[in-house]
Structure 1
Amino acid sequence: MSLDTLAPLSPADLRTARAENPKARARDLAESLGVTEAALVAAHVDGAQVLRIDAGLDRLFPAIQTLGEVMALTRNASCVHERTGTYEDYHSGAHASMVLGSEIDLRMFPRHWAHGFALLDGPRPSVQIFDAAGDAVHKVFLTDASDRAAFETLVRDLRLPDQDDTITLTPRAPVEAAKLRADKAEELRREWGEMTDTHQFLRMVSKLKMNRLGAYHVADAPWAFALRPDAVTQVLHQAAAEKIPLMIFVGNQGCIQIHGGPVARVEPMGPWINVLDPRFNLHLRADHIAEVWHVIKPIRDGMAHSIEAFDAQGALIVQIFGKRDPDTNAFRVMAEALPRLSGA
């Protein structure tokens, strides 16, 4: 895909393309045009129906909390996570912020929240945030139960003076492939076994000059087991059939969105595997999955098991854990029974 800085399309060209393809999803249309989704949205800025707003979390999230019930959406190139609920219990942080609501559960990384927009046109007004490269970080869509007056106040209070229909973007950083150090295998396995919290993991592998996927390749048994690419689909179907509650993490560099609870209706549709429940939807491109790992990490009261999927470039697509209420034994049993790749 071409960078917007190289694309010949003007904002007027992009508005024409949107008018000619009114039913196309914004991300899909932008990709077909060789621009980013943020450029397509910015082209429609008119100061009335599409507006630039402040993307700063400490102003944005208190305003979002006033909207009542909404639909929260976080995605990456291969997976879309949609959760209906209310934004509650916002915690600000310079490097990481959180929303810890009973339904909407987020981890946000403020430095990637670069461009904010409010879209008033259409049946589902929304707040949409993009990173510096123009990729969507997080979106909030109003529902029939949302407070429309509060949304109008949000737009008025967060509206920026600059309502230009062009946007300046920076080049997208390439995905880091599996980064491993085979000579550090013994040290990795020893330190892995000494962990007491899953949050210690990334600091540990970074210190050893690896990344997440590289560490899985190096550690191997007893901490990481390669599975068949269809393992995620199997987990969703089995969890639905056996009513095993899950924690499903989907994210990008700016936001991670978490579903905690059961899944019920799991439906394939072309290359997609979908969870289509009343307040939670997941849309996963199963054909994008190149690697799946069953990962085991020590924690203070036992072991945390996860199923993690990566694309062919090494980007993390989705992580699935067992929900820890009352326990995760059923998830562990399911994870341990998943077919492993030969030799794993």
Structure 2
Amino acid sequence: MPEPTLYERYLELKKQGVHQRDAVARLGVSEGELVAAFPETQYLGGNCADFLTELEVLGEVKSAVRNVAALSEKTGIYRNLELSPMMGTAINLGGLDLRLFMRHWKHIFAVRNGEARAFHFYDAAGKAIQKVHLTEAAAIPVWERLCAAYRTDAAPVFETPPEAAPYENVELTDDALAAYREEWKGLKNVHHFRIVLSQFGIDRLQGLEYAPEGDAQKLKCEAVEFIFRQCAARGMTLLVFVNNSGIVQIQTGQVHHVDRADGWLTVSDFAEEKFNFFLDDTKLAELWFVRRPGSNGIVHSIEAYDDRRNLVLQLFGRPADAEAESEAWRALIAAVRQTYGL
């Protein structure tokens, strides 16, 4: 009797109620490898930059971006896209607002599941970067045209990801620590923080540990739910950043419906904001309050990390280029620090 195919093994797990993300781990393959094995999947090659420029004509799509802890689903139009070999942006405040790290985008798949159609993007190891789901039947001919234009008979080749090097703590000398804190205080743009980190050879979490007095504080992870519920109760605007190695998806809008479902923190705001958010906060290893200088004054934010020291979620009270944070946001942050500070 022949060995079952990867797809057949997946179907057996699916019958048992195992979700696709969990099935990948149990099957010992990447998500990209599994999706490539689906009978209705078409491989569209690796020219992701050109392909992304085609997506605006699909009209409204649902963009799904996830990492080990969080899933952000935002419906909008893939417009205002600007790409360079390394970076990309689709700046649409309140809409489909994206920052792209193009060196990680390697594979495109057209995926069909019954009447549903989507394009999936994966990195070299088959890890999902973004999934773009059609929301309008009128876009199906465009989907089919793109499939025909980009389809290739070549089989996708996925790389085995290198084992993550064990974390090594970097001890800064007194002089280096003083210099680092001066660089922190002299920041003009929060996006320059990563440049400062690289100058001192430290990762983002260690950068918070070395922050100037009062500019970073470790928090209990339960603070995330408190923030979402308080924003909903007060009608506050919240910026929700969800990222993985290839993309950051940014939601800007009010929070309306916060709940718990199957252990996950959920925000079900499609009707008001075309946005849904899901957080498995048991996967959060560390949560931090951060205060840094920005282009228009001091910026207060919340940052969440997984157990591999990866940034998985950021929360802000205003866009980086806005005039000033609201007093309501600063008051909420003060309450969070007092109640959940460690």
Return the letter of the residue paired with 1:39.
E
Q: Retained in 2: the 8 A contact 1:226–1:341?
A: no
Deviation at 1:157, TM superposition (A): 1.2
Return the letter of the residue paired with 1:43.
A
Counterpart check, 1:168 vs 2:158:
yes
Query: SS where residue 294 of structure 1 aligns?
Result: strand
Counterpart check, 1:229 vs 2:192:
no
| Structure 2 residue corresponding to 1:40, chosen from 34, 51, 55 | 34
Count of residues paired in the alignment:
330
Deviation at 1:24, TM superposition (A): 4.3
Counterpart check, 1:290 vs 2:290:
no
TM-score, L = length of structure 1: 0.89
Q: In the TM superposition, what whole-angstrom CA distance separates every residue of 1:135-166 from its partner, at most 9, and x where no partner exists?
A: 1011101114651111111111121231x3x6
The 2-side partners of 1:146 and 1:310 are apart by: 40
| Structure 2 residue corresponding to 1:337, chosen from 335, 338, 341 | 335
Return the letter of the residue paired with 2:296.
D
Return the letter of the residue paired with 1:62.
T
1:183-198 aligned within 5 A: 183=173, 184-198=176-190
The 1-side partners of 2:196 and 2:323 are apart by: 29
Match of residue 255 from structure 1? 247
Counterpart check, 1:153 vs 2:150:
no
Deviation at 1:336, TM superposition (A): 2.0
Return the letter of the residue paired with 1:86.
I
In 2 relative to 1, CA 326–196 (structure 1 residues): closer, same or farther, beyond 3 Å? Answer: closer
In 2 relative to 1, CA 265–98 (structure 1 residues): closer, same or farther, beyond 3 Å? Answer: same
Question: In angstroms, what is the RMSD of aligned CA positions?
Answer: 2.3
In 2 relative to 1, CA 61–342 (structure 1 residues): closer, same or farther, beyond 3 Å? Answer: closer
1:131-146 aligned within 5 A: 131-144=123-136
Q: Retained in 1: the 8 A contact 2:79–2:92?
A: yes
Deviation at 1:339, TM superposition (A): 3.6
Query: SS where residue 221 of structure 1 aligns?
Result: coil
The 2-side partners of 1:177 and 1:333 are apart by: 35
Q: Retained in 1: the 8 A contact 2:64–2:130?
A: yes
In 2 relative to 1, CA 144–264 (structure 1 residues): closer, same or farther, beyond 3 Å? Answer: same
TM-score, L = length of structure 2: 0.89
Counterpart check, 1:306 vs 2:301:
yes
Counterpart check, 1:77 vs 2:68:
yes
Q: Retained in 2: the 8 A contact 1:54–1:60?
A: no
| Structure 1 residue corresponding to 2:105, chosen from 102, 108, 113 | 113
Which runs of 5 or more residues in structure 1 are unaligned? Answer: 1-8
Match of residue 50 from structure 2? 59
Counterpart check, 1:328 vs 2:322:
no
The 2-side partners of 1:259 and 1:290 are apart by: 23
In 2 relative to 1, CA 310–32 (structure 1 residues): closer, same or farther, beyond 3 Å? Answer: same
Q: Retained in 2: the 8 A contact 1:27–1:36?
A: no
The 2-side partners of 1:42 and 1:109 are apart by: 23
Return the letter of the residue paired with 2:335.
A
The 1-side partners of 2:314 and 2:170 are apart by: 20
Match of residue 19 from structure 2? 25
The 2-side partners of 1:117 and 1:128 are apart by: 5
Residue identity over aligned pairs, in percent, reads 30
The 1-side partners of 2:65 and 2:153 are apart by: 27
Q: In the TM superposition, what whole-angstrom CA distance separates every residue of 1:188-215 from its partner, at most 9, and x where no partner exists?
A: 1111001110111000011011111111
Which runs of 5 or more residues in structure 2 are unaligned? Answer: none
Return the letter of the residue paired with 2:325.
T
Q: Retained in 1: the 8 A contact 2:217–2:341?
A: no
Return the letter of the residue paired with 1:168.
F
Return the letter of the residue paired with 1:274.
T
Q: In the TM superposition, what whole-angstrom CA distance separates every residue of 1:2-44 from its partner, at most 9, and x where no partner exists?
A: xxxxxxx98x521102333166432221112222111111122
Return the letter of the residue paired with 1:328.
E
| Structure 2 residue corresponding to 1:93, chosen from 84, 87, 112 | 84
In 2 relative to 1, CA 213–60 (structure 1 residues): closer, same or farther, beyond 3 Å? Answer: same
Q: Retained in 2: the 8 A contact 1:67–1:151?
A: yes
In 2 relative to 1, CA 136–343 (structure 1 residues): closer, same or farther, beyond 3 Å? Answer: closer
